[in-house]
Structure 1
Amino acid sequence: MKNFILSLIIINIFSFNGYAQESKVKTAGKDYDNYAYIDAIKIYEKVAEKGYKSEELFKKLGNAHYFNSHFESAAKWYGELFAMNTDEIGSEYYYRYAQSLKSSGQTEQANKILDEFNSKKQTDSRAKLYDENVSYLDQIKANSGRYVIENAGINSKYSDYGTFIYKNKIYFASARDTGNFTQRKHKWTGEYFTNLYTADVDSARVTKFKTSLNSKFNEASPVFTKDGKTVYFTRNNYLNGKKGKDDKKVTLVKIYKATLVNDKWTNISALPFASDNYSTAHPALSPDEKTLYFASDMPGSIGQSDLYKVSINGDASYGKPINLGKAINTEGKETFPFVTSENEIYFASDGHPGLGGLDVFVAQIESNGNISNIQNVGTDVNSPQDDFAYIIDPVSRKGYFSSNKEGGEGSDDIYKFLETKKLKCIQELNGIITDAETKIILPGTKVILYENQVIKNSTIAESTGFYSFPVECGKSYSVRTENPDYITKEVNVIIPKLNGKTNLPIALDKDACKLVVGGDLAKCFGIKRIYFDLDKSDIRPEAAVDLVKILVVLQENPSVKLDIRSHTDSRATFKYNEILSDKRTKSIIYWLVRNGINPERLTGRGYGETQLVNKCSDGVKCTEEEHQENRRSEFIITSI
C-alpha cells in the first residue's frame, strides 16, 4: 500500500501487434493507466504466456511488479525486455532492473547492469553515487549487526506500516478494515484502503482511531505536536466528501492538518502548499516543531519523490517549501523522513546504493542546513525488499520501522528494535612525521587538522613521531605540520566512508640551516663528501657546486668560523691517507679564500682513517657503501 503514496508515475497506453490479443491489451492498458496494476498484471501475463513479445509489454509487466515491490517477478520481465537487445530501452529501466535483481539476491548481475546504467546515464545522481561507492556493500556490512529486532506484535495479514509514538501509544496505518458490507479494495495493490490505528506500546491490542481523521480512502503517517493539539497526516486528496483530482483525473495524496478542540479532531484542512496536481506525503516535525519535513514530487523535484522542508511560522502560516538538495535527493524515490534531536535525518530511498527496493538511510543535518555523511543503516533493518518509515528515540535508542521483508505476516509489517550501537562511521587519521632526506622521526612536530580552512584539532607528534586524529567518514581534511627546523607543509586527504584507519605519513624538508657551535654545515646541506679525482686534491666541478653552498653561508654570516675536516676510508696505508686527506682540506680552504673568505675564519686538517664512523678498519671485509660512509667532509662551526 505504501507504493500508492510513494510512486507517482503515469505511463501511456501502448500499441500491440496481434488482433486476437488487442482487446485484452487495451483493457489492461486502461487498468494500468488508472493504477489498477493487479488487474493489468493478470492480463499482461496471459498475453506473454501465449508467446507474444513486445518491448512495451515487458516494460509494463516489469513496472507493474516493480511498483508493487514484487521484485523477483519484476526482474523476470525486465530480463525478457533486455533479452530483446533493443536500443530503445530507457536508462531508467537499467536502474529498475538492477534494483529488482538486487532485491532477488542477484547482486553480481545487478552490479553489471548498474555499470551499464552508469555508462549510459552519467549525469544521473544514482549513477554517480554507484560509481563513487563501488564498495557500498562493504559499507553496509560494516554498519550491520547493531540491532535487536522483533515483530511489533500489532501486525495483521494486511498491510501495516508507518508509526508514530505519542504518550506511550503507537499510531500507524493499516489496511485491516475490510468493511462490513462492501470490500473497499484499491485496484493498484488489490488491498483495502488504509486507516489510522492505535495500540499501547506494550500491548498487542489494536483499535481503530475512531475520529474524523479517518475517511473512506487512505490515511497514513500521522505526527502529533508535543502538546497533542495538532496532528499532521497523509490522506488521499479528499475533503468534506469530495475527491480532488489532477489534470489526468487521478486522485493523489496531500498532507492534512487537524486540531484538537474539546477532545475532537476538527479544522481538518490540506496544508496551503499542497496541490491537486502533485503529491505531498509523510510529514515529520523537527524537534523544535518549527520545521516540517515531507516527501513530494512537486515541480522542481529532482526525482520521483524528493525530501522537502517548510518553516512553520508563529502565526500558523507556512513558508515556501525548500528542496533538501542533491546531496540527499536522487532521480529515484526519497521518502518517509524522520528528524531527531541529534540533527539526524532518517529516510527511505531507492536512489542511494542499497540492497534493493527501499533502504533506510541516515544523514547529518549541518548547522547551515546542508545534508552530509549519508549512510545505509545496515542489513539488520534493510533487506532486498522495501524497508522504510524508520523512527527512533535518540535517548532509549528504541524505535520502529516498516518492511515487506520475508517472514512477515502481511504485505507490510511493523518491526520494533533496540539499537545496541549507534551508527557513527568513525575513522582515525594517523601517520608518522619524518625528515624527508634522512628519514629520521621528528617528535615534537605540531600537527593541525583543518576542515574547510577551519581548525578542527591539533596535536604534538609523540616521541615516535606518531600523530592521530579522530575524523568523520567521507569528509575532506587538510593536515598542516609545523616544525621550527623544517618547511611548513600541508597535505590534503579524503577519508573513506568505512570505519577504520587512514594512514597519512608526512615527510618534511629542512627549512634552513641551524647555526650552532659544533654543528656540521655539511649535514645541513646534505654534503657527504667533496669530490676529488683519484689520488688528487684538486677541486672538481661537482665539488664546487657543494662548496658554493658553504661559501654563501659564510658570506651571509661574517662572524661564523669553520674547522674543515677531511676523512678517508681504511684502504691504502695509514700515512698515505693522512697526507691525502690533509691536502684535500687545504684545497678546500684555498678555494674558499680565493672566493673572498678571510683565511682567519678557516682552520682544518686531514684525519685520514683515524675517525672511522663504522667497523671498516684494516682487514675488515666491508661493502663499498660502508667504505663510502667513512669518506666524508665536515664543516664544523667553531664560532658564530
Structure 2
Amino acid sequence: MKIKTSIILLSFLFVATLCSAQKGNKNSVADNFEHYAYMGNESTYEELSEKGMSDEEICKNLGNAAYLKAKYDEASYWYAKLLELNSKTIEADYMYRYAQSLKSIKNYKDSNLWMKKFKKAKKNDVRALNYDMDESYIDDLMIASSEYTIENLASVNSKESDFAPSFYNEFLVFSTGRDLETTSRSSTSYLNLYKTTRPEKGAYSTATAFPEELKSVANESSTTFSKDGNTMYFTRNNYKKRSFNRDKNGISRLKIYKSTFKDGKWGNIEDLPFNSELYSVAHPTLNKESTKLYFSSDMPGTLGASDIFMVDIHADGSYGIPQNLGSKINTESKETFPFISDSDVLYFASDGRPGLGGLDIFSIDLKNQGKVKNLGNPINSPNDDFSLIFDEETSSGFFASNRTGGVGSDDIYALKTIDCMVSITGNAVDKDSEKTLPFATINARNTSGGNVGEAQTDAQGNYTIEIPCQESQYSIVANLDGYEEGSLFMITTPDEKNIKNARVVLEESSKVAVIGADLVKVLKLAPIYFDLNSSYLRNDAFENLDKVVAYMKKRPEVKVEIGSHTDSREEDGYNLWLSDRRAKRTVAYIISNGIASSRITGKGYGETELINKCANGVICSDRDHQLNRRSEFILID
C-alpha cells in the first residue's frame, strides 16, 4: 500500500505492516526502525550515517522504510546492497523481503533465486514450506481468471488513500485520507470514515463522512457491522482524553472499538477487553451470526508480523480468549485485513505466501476445511491488494489496491462474478511488416476503461482472451515494448460466444508519425538521389519509394510534402526550376501507386538548403555534391 495519510502515526496495521525483527533482538531504535517508518519524514543515507549507524543498519533501515511504504523498487536497491555486504550473516528475513520486492517490480527470475536461498536458510519457515519451487506458479497466477471482473470506483476514490470497504445496509463504508486534516505531531493527514450508496445499477452517490459523531483527531478505519445494522466494530488508534495515547517510543497502538446505534446516532463506544497498550489489534470482521469476531494482531503468540485471530462473542456480550488461526493460515510475515463471508469463507491479505508481489488476497473455506487459495489476476497484482469483502447473495464485492492506473495512492475496486464468457481469438501484428508479435500483453477494456480480461500472445503471436457476456462494447488493447499501443474496437451480441480473427495492429514507436519528421529517417530508407542536371527518378529509388507508398497506405491519416533539392552548381533560378521538376516527378510516381493527390504535395528548394559546405565557389568532390541532390519526405498536418 502507498497510504499517504496519517498512517504515519500507526504502528503497523492500518497499512498492514509490522516490524518483523527477529525475537531476541535488542530493543534499539535501529532494530525497531520499521515502527518509526510512518512517524515523520524519510531519513537519508547521510542523516543515518551522521547518527553513527553502520552500513548494515543503514541499508536495513532505508530498505525497511521503502518496503513498508510499498516503494519496492527503492527497497530492492537497499536490500541488494545489504545482502552484498555479507548475505551469510544477514537475517534470512531480508532475503525474503528482497525476493518480495523483486517480485513486485516483476523481476521474477531473481526473486525466485532469492526465495530458493531463503528456503535453504529457513527450511522450517511456513513461508519456505509454502513456496512452490515450480517457478511457473507466477505464470499461473497471472492468467486472468474467468471468474471475476473488476472496475475502479473512480467516482468514489480520491487522490489520497481509500481502502478498507465494508457493507452497511445499502451503503459502502470505507476509510479515506481525503480530508487532509493534520496534527501537531504529523503534517500528513489522518484517516476518517466515509460512506457511499451501493446501487445495484447506476452511479454511486457522492461520498460523505460517516458517522460525524465518531470523527476524532485519530485514525478510524476497518469497520464491520452486525446484520441488523445496530452494532459496529471499528479500528482506531489508542485514543484517550481526545488525543493519541502513546508508548515511550511515541507509538500509538491500534485498538478495536465497539459502538451501538441508538436514537439515530452511534455512541456507547467501548474499548474491547483484549486490546492492549503493548500490541495492536485491528481490522475486525463479524461472522453472519455475530458470534465470532475475526481480526489482525501482533499479540503474544503471533507467528510473524501480524496474524489473523478469532474471538467468540458470548450471548451476554462478553468475549472469549482470542485464538490464533494457526500456521494453516498465518505465516512469519503479514496476514491482515480478514473478512468472513456468510458461508464462512475467510478472505485475507498476506505477503507471506506465493503471490504476484506485495500483499495478495487469499481465501479459505473454514467450514469445509479447504486449502488456502490465491485469488490471482485480476484481483491480485504485482502491487498491494488487500481488504476484500464479498457479498455472496449478489456475487459481488470490493477490495483495495495501489496498482498502477488508479485515481489515488490506494483505490477501491468493485468485483463481480461472471455468469458466462465470450472467447475471442486473434493475433497481434506489426503494422509495416505484418509479422505476428509474440509475448504482447492483451487487455479487454470496457467503455469506462475498466479491465475485463487479460491475456498474452504466444510465441506465434496468437492469443485467446475471455470477457464477460454482458460486455457488448469494448476494445481489445495490445501493448509491447518498442511499440505504440494498438487497439481494436469490438461490438458483440449476447449470442456470440466465440469470435475469431481479432487482429490488433501495433506500430513501432520509432515509426509513429510525428509532424516534421522525414520518412527517409523514420523508415530508415536509402536516400532518394538524382543525377546531375536530371529530374528523372533513378532505378535505385523505386524500392524505397515503394516503402513510402506502403507506409502511407497503412496510415490513411498521414500527409507528406516532398522537398526536392539540388547542389550548388548551375544558376540559382535554374536550380529552383530543376528541383521543382524533381518534386513533381516524385509526387506523380506516388500518386500513380494509389495515394490520393490530396495527401501528397511537392516543392522545390533548389540550392537553398544544402546539407554540407558545398556552396557557390566552394570546391567539393562529386560525392559531396551528390549528397545535396536529394528528396525528403516530410510529414505535415
Cα distance in structure 2, aligned partners of 1:412 and 1:282: 17
Taking structure 1 as reference, are residues 227 and 45 closer, same or farther at Cα in structure 2, changes over 3 Å only? farther
Paired residues for 1:437-448 under 5 Å? none
Q: Which whole-Å CA distance do the structure 1 matches of 2:46 and 2:140 have between them?
A: 38
Structure 1 residues 86 and 331: CA distance shift in structure 2, 3 A: closer
Report if the CA contact (8 A) 2:21-2:31 is conserved. Answer: no
Measured in 2, the distance between the counterparts of 1:56 and 1:396 equals 50
Structure 2 CA distance for partners of 1:30 and 1:79, relative to 1, 3 Å: closer
Q: Which residue in 2 is equivalent to 1:69?
A: 70
Task: Work out whether 1:7 is the aligned partner of 2:4.
Answer: no
Q: Distance in 2 between matches of 1:325 and 1:135?
A: 28
Which of 135, 157, 160 pairs up with 1:158?
160
| Cα deviation, residue 420, structure 1 | 1.5
- Mind listing any 5+ residue stretches in structure 2 that lack a counterpart? 23-27, 421-637
Give how far 1:395 is off.
2.3
Instruction: Give distance in 2, aligned partners of 1:166 and 1:250.
Output: 31
CA distance in 2, matches of 1:11, 1:276: 19
Counterpart amino acid of residue 89 in structure 2 = E
Match of 1:140, SS state, is helix
Structure 1 position 372 matched with structure 2 position 374: no
Alpha-carbon separation, structure 2, partners of 1:165 and 1:412: 19
Q: Which residue of 2 aligns with 1:437?
A: none
Structure 1 residues 132, 108: CA separation in 2 closer, same or farther (over 3 Å shift)? closer
Other-structure match for 1:631: none
**CA distance in 1: counterparts of 2:322 and 2:48, whole angstroms:** 45
Q: Go from structure 1 to structure 2 and tell me whether the alpha carbon gap of 1:421 and 1:60 turns closer, same or farther (over 3 Å shift).
A: farther
Q: For residue 54 of structure 1, what is the aligned residue in structure 2?
A: 55
Distance change in 2, residues 1:43/1:354 (3 Å): same
Distance 2:397 2:277 in 1: 34
The structure-2 alpha-carbon separation of the partners of 1:194 and 1:185, relative to structure 1 and needing over 3 Å to count, comes to farther
- Matched to 1:320, the amino acid is I
- Give the alignment partner of residue 396 of structure 1, picking from 380, 384, 394: 394
Question: Aligned pair 1:196/2:210, yes or no?
Answer: no
In structure 2, relative to structure 1, the CA distance for the partners of 1:330 and 1:82 (3 Å cut) is same
Task: Quote the offset at 1:53 in angstroms.
Answer: 7.6
Give the conservation status (yes or no) of the 8 Å contact 1:59–1:81. Answer: yes
Identify the residue that residue 344 of structure 1 maps to in structure 2: 345
Corresponding letter in the other structure for 1:403: S
Match of 2:170 in 1: 168
| Aligned pairs for 1:77-226 within 5 A | 77-131=78-132, 135-141=136-142, 144-152=145-153, 153-179=155-181, 183-184=182-183, 187=186, 191-201=188-198, 202-226=203-227
Contact 1:333 1:351 in 2 (8 A): yes
Moved more, 335-344 or 383-392: 335-344
Partner in structure 1 of residue 263 of structure 2: 262
Which residue is equivalent to 2:409?
Answer: 411
Q: Which residue of 2 aligns with 1:319?
A: 320
Quote how far apart the aligned CAs of 1:131 are: 4.3
Residues in 1 aligned to 2:97 and 2:302: alpha-carbon distance in whole angstroms: 19
TM-score relative to the length of structure 2: 0.59
Distance apart, 1:421 and its partner CA: 6.3
Separation of aligned partners in 2, 1:283 and 1:267 = 18
**Residues 185/145 of structure 1: CA separation in 2 closer, same or farther (3 Å cut):** farther
In structure 2, how many angstroms separate the alpha carbons of the residues matched to 1:311 and 1:421? 36
| Distance in 2, Cα, partners of 1:283 & 1:298 | 15
Structure 2 contact 161–409 (Cα < 8 Å) conserved: yes
- Deviation of 1:248 after TM superposition, in Å, equals 4.0
> 1:178–1:184: 8 Å Cα contact kept in structure 2?
no
CA contact (8 A) 1:143 1:377 kept: no
Distance 1:186 1:175 in 2: 16
Q: 1:260 to 1:216 in 2, by over 3 A?
A: same
> Alpha-carbon deviation of 1:373?
1.2
Higher RCO, 1 or 2 (CA under 8 Å, sep at least 6)?
2
Shift of 1:138: 4.5
Alpha-carbon distance between aligned partners in 2 of 1:295 and 1:113, rounded to the nearest angstrom: 28
C-alpha RMSD of matched pairs (Å): 2.7
Contact 1:211 1:264 in 2 (8 A): no
Q: Distance in 2 between matches of 1:288 and 1:114?
A: 41
Do 2:309 and 2:322's aligned partners in 1 also have CA atoms closer than 8 Å?
A: yes
Call closer, same or farther: CA 1:32–1:230 in 2, change over 3 Å. same
2-side partners of 1:305 and 1:299: how far apart?
A: 10
- How far apart, in 1, do the equivalents of 2:121 and 2:293 lie? 37
Question: In structure 2, do the counterparts of structure 1 residues 10 and 129 end up closer, same or farther at CA, with 3 Å as the change threshold?
Answer: closer
Normalised to the residue count of structure 1, the TM-score between the two structures is 0.58
Letter in 1 for 2:196: A
Work out which of the residue numbers 418, 421, 428 in structure 2 matches 1:420: 418
Q: 1: distance between equivalents of 2:132 and 2:32?
A: 38
Q: Choose 238-247 or 53-62, whichever is displaced more.
A: 238-247
Alignment-derived partner of residue 450 in structure 2: none
The 1:32/1:185 distance shift into structure 2, 3 A limit, reads farther
- Match in the other structure for 1:610: none
Q: Which residue identity does 1:208 align to in structure 2? A: A
Q: 1:496 matched to which residue of 2?
A: none
| Equivalent residue letter for 2:17 | S
Q: 1:485-514 deviations in whole A, cap 9, x for unaligned?
A: xxxxxxxxxxxxxxxxxxxxxxxxxxxxxx
Question: Residue 301 of structure 1 corresponds to which residue in structure 2?
Answer: 302
Q: Distance in 1 between matches of 2:91 and 2:379?
A: 32
Q: Distance in 2 between matches of 1:288 and 1:146?
A: 28
Question: Residues 347 and 388 of structure 1 are in contact (CA less than 8 Å); yes or no, is this contact kept in structure 2?
Answer: yes
From the superposition, tell whether residues 133 and 234 of structure 1 become closer, same or farther in structure 2 (CA, over 3 Å): farther
Q: Secondary structure at the match of 1:373?
A: coil
CA–CA distance in 1 between the matches of 2:383 and 2:185?
21
> How far off is 1:100 after superposition?
0.4
Task: Please tell me the residue identity of whatever aligns with 1:192.
Answer: S
Local SS of the residue matching 1:405 = coil
- Given that 1:145 and 1:378 are in contact with CA atoms closer than 8 Å, whether structure 2 keeps it comes out as no
Distance in 2 (CA, whole Å) between partners of 1:58 and 1:374 is 34
- CA distance in 1: counterparts of 2:39 and 2:207, whole angstroms: 29
After superposition, give the CA deviation of every residue in 1:430-453 in whole Å (9 maximum; x if it has no partner): xxxxxxxxxxxxxxxxxxxxxxxx
State the Cα distance separating 1:88 from its structure 2 match. 2.3
Q: Contact 1:285–1:293 at 8 Å: present in 2 too? A: yes
The verdict on how the C-alpha distance between 1:379 and 1:33 changes in structure 2, with shifts beyond 3 A counting, is closer
Runs in 1 of length 4+ with deviation above 6 angstroms? Answer: 28-31, 45-49
Structure 2 Cα separation of the partners of residues 37 and 156 of structure 1 = 21
The question of whether the paired residues in 2 share the 8 Å contact of 1:31 and 1:37 is answered with: no
Which amino acid in 2 is paired with 1:164?
Answer: S
SS at 2:94 equivalent: helix
Q: CA deviation at 1:206?
A: 1.0
Q: Are the structure 2 counterparts of residues 31 and 118 from structure 1 closer, same or farther at C-alpha, using a change threshold of 3 Å?
A: closer
1:58-117 per-residue CA deviation (whole Å, 9 max, x = no partner) reads 111100000111111111111111222353211110010000000011011000000000
Calculate percent identity across the aligned residue pairs. 41
CA distance in 2 between partners of 1:361 and 1:159 (Å): 22
Aligned to 2:460: none
Q: 1:170/1:186 Cα in 2 relative to 1: closer, same or farther (>3 Å)?
A: farther
SS in structure 2 of the partner of residue 95 of structure 1: helix
Give the Cα separation in 2 of the matches to 1:129 and 1:185: 44
Matched with 1:291 is 292
Distance 1:262 1:268 in 2: 15
